[in-house]
Amino acid sequence: MNYSCKLPPSVWLGGFFNPQSLLTAIMQQTARKNEWPLDKMCLYCEVLRKYKEEITSAPREGAYINGLYMEGARWDMQAGCIMDSRFKELFPLLPVIYIRAITQDKQDLKNMYECPVYKTRSRGPTYVWTFNLRTKEKASKWILGGVAILLQI
């Protein structure tokens, strides 16, 4: 049975009442397609060098997501990693992020910051997921700085 549905070119994750459902569905769809166990899956996040307006079609697997903000740092498109915030720039918009499912054994956590994703600025009960973002600094710098991704500000 084919359960596939057509996604828009990029998805506004903050528009979902339950954003975890889309992220879980991406893992379920990949696991079913490849006959992999769901409990051995994880999400792979690639921050693109494009914004929502530049995306014209959905990826073959996974999803492009947009409308995410970063608190405590910013994404540097040239360097392709997290950098210190700019002066007076509190919540910089992230470029489009390509989310797809991979098996946990293929996950590379070297030079990565496990960045928590929250629905709002208030932490705790608004937690959604953790996205691994590339960093040239030690992850502890971003942990101490409270760096997070927000779906809405």
Give residue 145's pLDDT.
Answer: 93
Answer for the pair 43, 24: CB distance below 8 angstroms, yes or no. Answer: no
Predicted confidence (pLDDT) at residue 44 exceeds the cutoff of 80: yes
What's the pLDDT tens digit per position in 53-72? 999 999 999 999 999 999 99
Instruction: Please name the residue ranges forming H helices in the chain.
Output: 19-34, 139-144
Any idea what the Cα angle at residue 135 is, between residues 99 and 45, rounded to 5°? 5
CATH 3.10.490.20 fits 11-150, yes or no: yes
Q: Which residue type does 122 have?
A: S
Q: How confident is the model at residue 5 (pLDDT cuts 50, 70, 90)?
A: low
Look at strands 127-134 and 112-118 and give their pairing: antiparallel
- Is 48 in a helix, a strand, or coil? coil
Bridge partners (DSSP) of residue 66 are 12
Domains of the chain by residue range: 11-150
The pTM of this model reads 0.90
Q: With H, G, I as helix, E, B as strand and everything else as coil, classify residue 12.
A: strand
pLDDT of residue 41: 93
- Work out the mean pLDDT of the chain and round it to a whole number: 92
Q: Can you tell me the mean pLDDT for 34-39?
A: 92
Residues ≥6 apart with Cβ < 8 Å to 126: 118, 119, 120
What is the residue whose two structure tokens read 């996040």?
Answer: 45
Mean pLDDT of 99-114: 92
